[in-house]
Amino acid sequence: MSIFRKLSNVERNNYLQPPASVLAHLLFLLLGLLCVIPFIFVIIISFSSPASIQEVGYSFFPTAFSLEAYRYVFEAKDVIFRAYGVSIFITITGTALGLLLNSSIAYALSRPNFRYQKFFTLVVLIPMLFNGGLISFYLIMTKFLHLKDSLLALILPSAVSSFYIMVLRTFFKTTIPESIIDSARIDGAGQFHIFFKMILPISLPALATIGLFLTFGYWNEWFNALLFIEQPTKVPLQALLMRIEQNLSFITDNMSMLGGYGKTINLPSETMKMAIVVLVAMPIACAYPFFQRYFISGLTIGSIKG
């Protein structure tokens, strides 16, 4: 009996002959290396000595290793750790708030008995195509909501997204059986009980995927901090490291204008830039494996089963 007779129809359609399977694995291995090697390269450069960078340039095998770049960055360790705390706070708070708001709106729009479903779906879709512009956004945040120098200015603008709402709405409509909700309603369960006790536990793959996107967005937040945050104690990590990098670039670009003082300044500019990248990316890179299986499951939202 041939191998195709032992396989089901779905397995037979997904089966690859050995040569094709080897090529597919090699292709994915190559794509994986293309994603990982640049980050490894950045880590190596951040631990390289400035002298080796000047002598041989960027290399996977530097002539000397050094922690000088990290020493310069952590000279203001209190400021760095405070910025880490701000970023962690807005990431956790914003992700939790975003999941609650996006999922609740999406669940309401997914209910067929919701009278104004089409109208509010259109209201949600409009921001995907148009926005009010930067000036009106700034005026609303500062003059109307009075969120200048407030951490809420870093949390609220990214909490709700039309894209996330539509993704969750599709998941609720295509994945959760209507019979489960009807049975719970017959047993006397209210809408809040159904949503929090039944819908959310079933929707973990979708919620984890949206939560990962929200986490990335809040962790990489710098633009809103540039607009609304002036107090040094409320600056998130991304904005702080951007300011450090800008100051570093200004010093190195204007070294000749400093005259004799410029010769006494020996900043590891290139390695410091790479060290900043490592400090920003490493926490997310360490957290991603814990969300990986939920993220992969969430990528199949709305797909057609074979």
Look at residue 13 and tell me if it is in a domain.
Answer: no
Residue 228: what pLDDT?
93
14/8 Cα distance (integer angstroms): 10
Look at residue 51 and tell me if it is in a domain.
Answer: no
Reported as a single tens digit per residue, the pLDDT across 217-260 is: 999 888 999 999 989 899 998 888 888 777 777 666 665 555 54
Look at residue 204 and tell me if it is in a domain.
Answer: yes
Look at residue 29 and tell me if it is in a domain.
Answer: no
Residue 163: what pLDDT?
93
Reported as a single tens digit per residue, the pLDDT across 131-179 is: 888 899 999 999 999 999 999 999 999 999 999 999 999 999 888 888 8
Q: Which residue has the higher pLDDT, 35 or 57?
A: 35
Name all contacts of 194-200 with Cβ < 8 Å and 24+ positions apart: 195/104, 195/107, 199/103, 199/107, 199/172, 200/103
Look at residue 43 and tell me if it is in a domain.
Answer: no
Residue 160: what pLDDT?
93
**Percent of the chain predicted with pLDDT > 70:** 82
In which domain, by residue range, is 220 found?
Answer: 74-257+264-304
Number of structural domains found in the chain: 1
The answer to whether residues 90 and 237 touch, using CB atoms and an 8 Å cutoff, is: no
Look at residue 102 and tell me whether its pLDDT is greater than 70.
yes
Look at residue 169 and tell me if it is in a domain.
Answer: yes
Look at residue 54 and tell me if it is in a domain.
Answer: no
Q: Which residue has the higher pLDDT, 279 or 30?
A: 30
Look at residue 236 and tell me if it is in a domain.
Answer: yes
Give the residue-averaged pLDDT of 42-53: 82
Name all contacts of 262-270 with Cβ < 8 Å and 24+ positions apart: 266/50, 267/72, 268/49, 268/50, 268/53, 268/66, 268/68, 268/69, 268/72, 269/50, 270/45, 270/50, 270/53
Domain containing residue 204: CATH number: 1.10.3720.10
